[in-house]
Structure 1
Amino acid sequence: MSYAAMIRPVVDRVYVGARDAARPALEAYYAERGLRPGFEASFPFGLLARPMRAEALADALVYTSGDMTHEREQGVATVDADGAWHLTPLGRELALAVQRMVGEAAEERWASGADLLPGLEVVPRLAELVGRLLVQGCATGGPAFRAMAPVYEPADASAALRLASRLGALRHHRADAHRAAWRAAGLTVAGIRALPEGPERRAVEDETNRRDEPIYAALPSDERIELLAGLGALPN
């Protein structure tokens, strides 16, 4: 099994766990403002750093309707003549709040197993390792990844916020690889969703791993093991 295949579920578990932990606070925050979350809540670490180009947005939202109507109606985003999406002052305020709440929820969750697991003491090192992967990914990632990295990090960002944001961006390297793999196989969104387990599905997953693997060349084998073990040990 490739390293990309081994670490994918670990990255997903850690990042999705942090997002899940933040969900109650996020829902309350938006409800108090009479708003509902949009793309600023999904990609804050990228949108706070740069506008999102139309190609990147289309790929990032390929499994959804891609409808940006409510972002414009709620006043959180505008689109320029080139099709790039920009946060408004309100959108930036929301994105900053989302990133902060995810970081806070992650810190609380990862500290919860400190009696049995390494917990927060390993988070700065893991953030550093993932940061090096993001640099490598600038040469290997697709449109969505390039919209997410380098990530925006406040000057006073905690290690937990840095790690959560960087993992969020890292996941888009694999997402780009997966889209490229099923498109190369002549599939559509509907086609990949309907594709059953079997040789064709395995071929797409193998190609995804092949395209995703180069980002991990940033780390020698011992640091790859360190990253896999460190993320795997974080409480969820």
Structure 2
Amino acid sequence: METTVSYARMIRPAIDRVYVGARWAARARMEKFYAERGADLGFENSFFSGVLARPMPADALADGLAYTDGDLSRELAQGVATVDAEGAWHLTELGRELARYAQRATAEAAGELWSAMPGMLPGLGVVPRLADLVGRVLVHGQATGGPAFRAMSPPYEPDDASPVLLLVTRLGSLRHHRADAHRAAWRAAGLTADGIRALPDGPERAAIEAETDRRDEPAYAVLSDAERWELLAGLAALPG
């Protein structure tokens, strides 16, 4: 795609708005469900699309939590997860119950948001096509994704998954392709997580963002130009 700004950079705000909007809309119901089981929202809530499919390796989880304190003591104390001898994180029966609910609740909230749209906008009708396009990007991105993306993809998709559940789950995994790209870019520039947070706008940050685009862009190469615009327009049309 011939653009002055990379497609990966253009689509990222649409991905974030749609996914984060659904997550926030689901938060109250998730907190209620968790409280009834004596647990707090933890890493299984944020990473459900991957950790329901496979144990999460230590390096992938550390990258996924790079901008936090990385404290997972509550998950262990509340019996949500265990850690094996290699440092990989496994969900317990309780952890799987919580993560599955987080996935369902996010999809339910998304469906409510996307169905309450004026008739002239696509709404739920475009969701199956968007889910297919994102699914193809996820498969293609396996060749270029970093540790967190590989832990999150292919995502966990139950047999009875609706198109809405597929789309929000796949978007949750896809976000980690760019997140890995960004971490790789600032690490290559000799920065830490604290360093990139504190870095002001200017040539150094612009160079890191350009390198992030370069590393993220290949995931979308599987789509034609028309499909890329279709994906961007479809996500932009969904409320977040």
**TM-score band, normalised by the shorter chain?**
over 0.9
Within 1, Cα distance between the matches of 2:220 and 2:88?
Answer: 30
Task: Report what 2:35 is aligned to.
Answer: 31
| Residues 184-215 of structure 1: per-residue CA shift (max 9 Å, x gap) | 00001111011001111111111100100000
Is the contact between residue 38 and residue 78 of structure 2 (CA under 8 Å) also seen in structure 1? no
Q: Given the alignment of the two structures, is residue 234 of structure 1 paired with residue 231 of structure 2, yes or no? A: no
5+ residue gaps, structure 2, are none
Q: Given the alignment of the two structures, is residue 19 of structure 1 paired with residue 23 of structure 2, yes or no? A: yes
Q: Secondary structure at the match of 2:90?
A: strand
Within 2, Cα distance between the matches of 1:161 and 1:114?
Answer: 22
Task: Report what 1:178 is aligned to.
Answer: 182
Within 1, Cα distance between the matches of 2:175 and 2:190?
Answer: 23
Within 2, Cα distance between the matches of 1:88 and 1:170?
Answer: 25
Q: Secondary structure at the match of 1:175?
A: helix
Within 2, Cα distance between the matches of 1:48 and 1:234?
Answer: 26
Residue number among 136, 150, 162 corresponding to 2:166 in the alignment? 162
Is the contact between residue 117 and residue 235 of structure 1 (CA under 8 Å) also seen in structure 2? no
Is the contact between residue 8 and residue 213 of structure 2 (CA under 8 Å) also seen in structure 1? yes
Q: Secondary structure at the match of 1:81?
A: coil
Which residues of 2 match residues 100-111 of structure 1 at below 5 A?
A: 100-111=104-115
Percentage identity across paired residues of the two chains: 69
Shift of 1:108: 0.8
Q: Given the alignment of the two structures, is residue 187 of structure 1 paired with residue 191 of structure 2, yes or no? A: yes
Task: Report what 2:122 is aligned to.
Answer: 118
After superposition, the CA RMSD in angstroms is 0.8
Q: Secondary structure at the match of 1:197?
A: coil
Shift of 1:114: 4.2
Is the contact between residue 137 and residue 173 of structure 1 (CA under 8 Å) also seen in structure 2? yes
Moved segments of 4+, more than 2 Å: none
Q: Given the alignment of the two structures, is residue 225 of structure 1 paired with residue 233 of structure 2, yes or no? A: no
Q: Secondary structure at the match of 1:115?
A: coil
Within 2, Cα distance between the matches of 1:95 and 1:114?
Answer: 32
TM-score (norm 2): 0.97
Which residues of 2 match residues 33-112 of structure 1 at below 5 A?
A: 33-112=37-116
Q: Please tell me the residue identity of whatever aligns with 1:202.
A: A
